[in-house]
Amino acid sequence: MREYKFGELTFDEWQGFWKSSPTDPEVTGREYEEFARELDHALRLKYPNYPNDFYVRGDCHGDRSQDIEIVNPAVLDSDLLQDLKEYLLTHGSKMWRIRIPTYLGPKQVVVIYPSEIFLPGSSCGNFEQDLEALRTQLISADQK
């Protein structure tokens, strides 16, 4: 039996299986693929450089977490993160989250929930400043 953690957690707090609530049903492969396909479609309609700048990975890991890979770190801005958060609010019965691995470290993952966005390594408490610092780190790492 899988061990789940529930609620809005940073990636630093828990890297295992996740559910928004203990009453959520188990995710099925079909449900996962359908949600990934619908998210992919919505992003294609909204972002002209999708999937060149970023894309939905679509790998099912056994819970309702969708992973988005960032190819061009410059696209990681508050508009994109807010759009993803809004998508989660309006799709999937608030049972999904989106993770964006940064590859800056093993626990350096942006986690987006329908009502919260967690940035890895947030230090100053100012979302825009923390996001800018993260984006700068990603661009610097990308240029190496």
Residue-by-residue pLDDT tens, the chain, 144 positions: 688 889 888 887 778 888 999 999 999 999 999 999 999 999 999 999 999 999 999 988 889 999 999 999 999 999 999 999 999 999 989 999 999 999 998 889 999 999 999 999 776 679 999 999 999 999 998 776
- In angstroms, rounded to a whole number, what is the distance separating the alpha carbons of residues 128 and 130? 5
Q: Is 49 helix (H, G, I), strand (E, B) or coil?
A: coil
- In angstroms, rounded to a whole number, what is the distance separating the alpha carbons of residues 95 and 104? 27
Contact 99, 85 (CB under 8 A): no
pTM of the model: 0.92
Token pair 């993260």 is at which residue? 134
